[in-house]
Amino acid sequence: MKFLRDSVLFPPAIVFVAIMIVVFSSFLVSLDDRRREQEIVAADYTEIIENSVRQRVEVFEEALRSEVGFVTVNDAFSKEDWRLSIEASQVLDRFPGIQGIGYVDVVTPSQREAYEQEAKRTVDSDFSIYPKGERDVYAAVRYLEPQSERSNAAIGFDMFSEETRRAAMSAARDNNDVFITSPVDLIQESGDDRQLGLLLYAPSYKNSAKIDTIEQRRDSIDGYVYIVLRTRDFLSNLLSDKELDSIGFNFYAIDKKNENHILYESSKYQEHVGKQKVKSDRLMSIKGAQFGITAAYDPSTVLPESFTARSSTILFFGTLLALLITGVTYLLLRGKANELALSQERTINDAKDSLLSIASHQLRTPATGVKQYLGMVLQGFVGDVSTQQKSMLEKAYESNERQLKTINDVLFLARLESGRIVLSKNNIDVKAMIHSIVEEQKDNAAAAGHTVKVQLPEKKVEVTMDEHMMRMTFENLLSNAIKYTKNGGKVSIAVKQTAKDVRIVVKDNGVGIAVVDEDKLFKQFSRIKNALSKSVSGTGIGLYLAKHIVDLHGGEIELESEQGKGSVFTVILPR
Amino acid sequence: MDRKKSTILVVEDESNLNEAYQVILANSGFDILTSFDGQEALDILADNPVDLILLDLRMPVMDGIEFLKEYSPDPKKRAKIIVFSNYDMQKEIEEAYSLGADKYILKSWASPKELIKVVNDVLESQS
């Protein structure tokens, strides 16, 4: 039964562990989810940046193409024509990233001399194609708006002379498309605020030339329209100030040698990267150029609080739920186990009852037969018996009586111990009860030559008790006092009432009890050795039963005794 | 009622005890009818007026409690009943009384003289 009750802990423990495994996995998954979502957020930013860049480049392409259109329809156009055209397009005002928009003429070595002369007249008196030297072909900057001292420095520069520019220009020419260079040092830049620049080229072919094949395009290339981008300016304002507070990004170009060149770094980029929080990289390819974007941010500043708290919420409520379910499981199981234990206890007790009932019947019936037949002979139902016969029959009858009493005591005890006897308590007049017990045992006491003294208070003494059981107790104590006192002794029984309790004191001047035996005295079936134990019959049940009954009444039995002098048993019952 | 002519029905399956009761009661001048179980007792009662039934509880065929449940004569002709048993469980005692027993005696308690005294007491009592 105990095992069953303990084992009730086992299933809830399993339930708890199982739920916690689920909760903890969910917690880990949610952490992972969170990480992923954070990365998605970072990736979203890089995508936003890429899209913005593409949009801006598209606009530049439009601007370039419209200028190409202008160049194509006008066989010859002056510096002023170019200025007006640019001004009309408002491209410089709309995008602060554009540092300039210019036109490049393609010049062959044979044309160079004449071209320079013509440009000196129409463009600038100092015009010359530089750097100096003989090359296969020249691509000289002819116009560059807006005009300034700085931009004027670029006029005459042979862009084909520089590898990076030439690569983008060649690609633009061959593909009839806009191409962007790798980062370059701008010719017009000087001083501390030097920035890397990007150039966007759009090819312009000879009017009405066929440009279906690369060869045709190469043959008919006439010039280029190009945009100069100051990358820092071009890349600023892609995100709002507020966004730039919570997220940092940089934008870099990857050159043909696969080297990275940082073009832009948002103000708090280093701070965000330093936090080592969430980082996302994106590569983009646009108009022949390769770029990369790295976004870094602290998720707590970007993601809503509830999102950040989700994992710990799962852990907290998951654990709470696990505890709750475990608790409920435990309570349900314990209820069931108790029910089962009770029903098993009931079954066992019922079986015990039934066994006791049958045993009592089977043990008593034969002894009863002996009693009736001996009784009939003894009591003269079948004629007179001689004195000697009568004496023997009386001994047989007494032996049988003792057997019956033993059977009754043992059965009563068994039932008492199995807890199947319920006290049937009433208010009992203790004086009357003691008086009647003394009356019953008067003859026995007289036979032993004892004087029996009874001391009862004048007032009525009532105690709530099971009359039958307490009577057995007092009968036992008194008959013991009579039995264990040598003939001609003194036995007394007194009832005393105090404010708290009622005391029944049974006293004799008999054999007494040794101190060492006092512990054994109230134990089941223990008979102690004394001067009379061999000649006195007993089952060893009496005092054990008496103590048990007094215990059931919430009282106690006290013993004072001295070997050879006598014993005093005091039953103390609460009022 | 003439005490000497009272008729007592003994219901007891244990033949030694059955015989002992017959001897003890006949010796005291009662007319005795005897049976060994409840069903036999009911059969006898159907044809014979009886003043008192000495009833055992644990018997084959029909036990004492069953008998008490079945025994339902005209109230005026109802015999007194002494349950004479070796069962001393509270449950049986209460059940026997509630089913109409006049007295419940533990067999092992009564000597032949005490048995006669109880029988006379019950016969003389006004029900």
The number of residues making up chain B comes to: 127
Q: Residue A233 domain-assigned?
A: yes
* Domain enclosing residue A274, as ranges: 42-300
Confidence of residue B1 (pLDDT cuts 50, 70, 90): very low
Beta carbons of A147 and A101 less than 8 angstroms apart: no
As a dihedral over the C-alpha atoms of residue A102, residue A105, residue A106, residue A107, rounded to 10 degrees, the angle is -140
Q: Do A428 and A296 sit in the same domain of this protein?
A: no
The pLDDT of residue B9? 93
Q: Which residue has the tokens 């006949």?
A: B26
Element (H, E) at A422: none
Is A557:A569 a contact under the CB 8 Å cutoff?
Answer: yes
Domain with residue B7: its CATH number is 3.40.50.2300
CB-based contact, B117 to chain A, within 8 Å: no
Q: What pLDDT was estimated at residue A109?
A: 92
Distance CA(A159)–CA(A148), nearest Å, equals: 19
pTM over 0.80: no
**Residue numbers of the domain that contains B120:** 3-124
B19 touching chain A per CB within 8 A: no
- Angle of CA points A334, A338, A340, to nearest 5°: 115
Q: Is A93 exposed, middle or buried (0-12, 13-18, 19+ CB in 10 A)?
A: exposed
- Report the CATH number that the domain containing residue A69 is assigned in CATH: 3.30.450.350
**The domain that contains A548 carries what CATH number?**
3.30.565.10
According to DSSP, residue B125 is labeled S
- Measured between beta carbons, the chain A residues lying within 8 angstroms of B64 are none
Question: Which residue type sits at A352?
Answer: K
The answer to whether A120 touches A127, Cβ cutoff 8 Å, is: yes
Radius of gyration of chain A (CA): 60
What's the distance, Cα to Cα, between the start and end of chain A in Å?
38
Put simply, whether B107 touches A (Cβ < 8 Å) is yes
Answer whether A353 sits within 8 Å of B89, measured CB to CB. yes
Q: Is A541 among the domain residues?
A: yes
Does residue A364 contact residue A407 with C-beta atoms inside 8 Å? yes
Q: Is A210 exposed, middle or buried (0-12, 13-18, 19+ CB in 10 A)?
A: exposed
B108 touches chain A (CB under 8 A): yes
Residue pair B45/B73 in contact by the 8 Å Cβ criterion: yes
Residue A384 lies in a domain: no
Tokens of A380: 């003269």
Residue B90: list chain A partners with CB under 8 A.
Answer: 421
**Are residues A571 and A431 part of one domain?**
yes
Mutate to test the interface with A, among B15, B93, B111, B113 (most CBs of A within 10 A): B111
Closest residue to A364, CB basis, from B16, B108, B112: B108
CB neighbours (10 Å) of residue A91? 21
CA distance A546 to A272: 89
Which tokens belong to A537? 């019959």
Which 8-state DSSP code applies to residue B32? E
Q: Are A195 and A262 in contact, with CB atoms under 8 Å apart?
A: no
Last-in-domain residue among A300, A321, A336: A300
Task: List the structure tokens of A499.
Answer: 């404010």
Who among A361, A372, A411 is closest to B17 (CB)?
A372
| Mean pLDDT along residues B104-120 | 86
Last residue in a domain, options A300, A329, A364: A300
Residues A428, A286, single domain; the answer is no
Tokens 């957020």 sit on residue: A41
Contact across the interface for A372 and B58, Cβ inside 8 Å: no
Number of domains in chain A: 2
Cβ neighbours of A357 in B, within 8 Å: 87, 89, 92
| Structural Rg of chain B based on CA atoms | 13
Q: Give the chain A residue whose CA is nearest to the CA of B115.
A: A372
What is the C-alpha to C-alpha distance for residues A72 and A220, in angstroms, rounded to an integer?
A: 12
A121: number of Cβ within 10 Å: 10
> Does B87 contact A at CB distance below 8 Å?
yes
Q: Do A371 and B89 touch (CB under 8 A)?
A: no
Q: What is the pLDDT of residue B34?
A: 93
Residue for token digits 């009770």? Answer: A342
Q: Does B103 touch chain A (CB under 8 A)?
A: no
Q: Answer yes or no: do B58 and A407 touch at CB < 8 A.
A: no
10 Å Cβ neighbour count for A287? 22
Residue A166: inside a domain: yes
Residue B76 above 80 pLDDT?
A: no
- Tell me how far the alpha carbon of residue A294 is from its chain's centroid: 37
Token duo for residue A467 = 């009359």
Q: Do B112 and A379 touch (CB under 8 A)?
A: yes
Alpha-carbon distance of B57 to B66, in angstroms, equals 9
CA distances from A436 to A68, A430, A440, A441, A454 (A): 140, 10, 6, 9, 11
A408 vs B contacts (CB less than 8 Å) = 88, 108
On the question of pLDDT at B67 being above 50, the answer is yes
DSSP A149-211: HHHHTTTTBBGGGSHHHHHHHHHHHHHTS-EEPSPEE-TT--STT--EEEEEEEEEEPTT---
For chain B, the domain total comes to 1
Phi-psi domain of A191 (left: phi exceeds 0; alpha: psi -120 through 50; beta: other): left
Q: Of B17, B24, B27, which has the smallest distance from its Cβ to A368's Cβ?
A: B17
A137 and A286 share a domain?
Answer: yes
Q: pLDDT of chain A along its 575 residues, tens only?
A: 444 455 778 888 888 899 899 988 988 888 787 777 777 877 888 888 899 889 888 988 988 998 999 988 887 889 999 999 888 888 888 776 788 999 999 999 999 999 999 999 988 888 999 898 889 999 999 999 888 888 888 899 999 999 999 999 999 999 999 999 988 887 666 555 666 789 999 999 988 888 999 999 999 999 999 999 888 777 887 787 777 777 888 889 998 888 888 888 888 788 777 765 677 888 999 999 999 998 887 766 655 555 557 778 888 898 999 899 989 988 988 888 888 888 887 887 777 777 777 777 778 888 888 888 988 888 888 888 888 888 888 888 888 888 888 887 777 777 777 666 677 788 888 898 999 899 888 888 888 899 989 998 888 888 888 888 888 889 888 988 898 888 888 999 999 988 889 999 999 988 887 766 766 677 655 556 665 665 555 656 778 888 888 888 889 888 888 888 888 999 999 88
Rounded to 5, what percent of chain A is helix, strand, coil? 55, 20, 25
**Residue A412 included in any domain:** no
Q: Are A292 and A440 members of one domain?
A: no
Q: What is the pLDDT of residue A33?
A: 79
Final residue before a domain boundary, out of A274, A300, A326: A300
Q: For A303-452, where are the alpha helices, taking DSSP H only?
A: 305-308, 310-378, 387-417, 430-447
Q: How far apart are CA B17 and CA A185, in angstroms?
A: 135
Cβ of B107 and A364 within 8 Å? yes
CA distance A208 to A216: 12
Residue whose entry in the numeric block shows the structure tokens 């036999």: B40
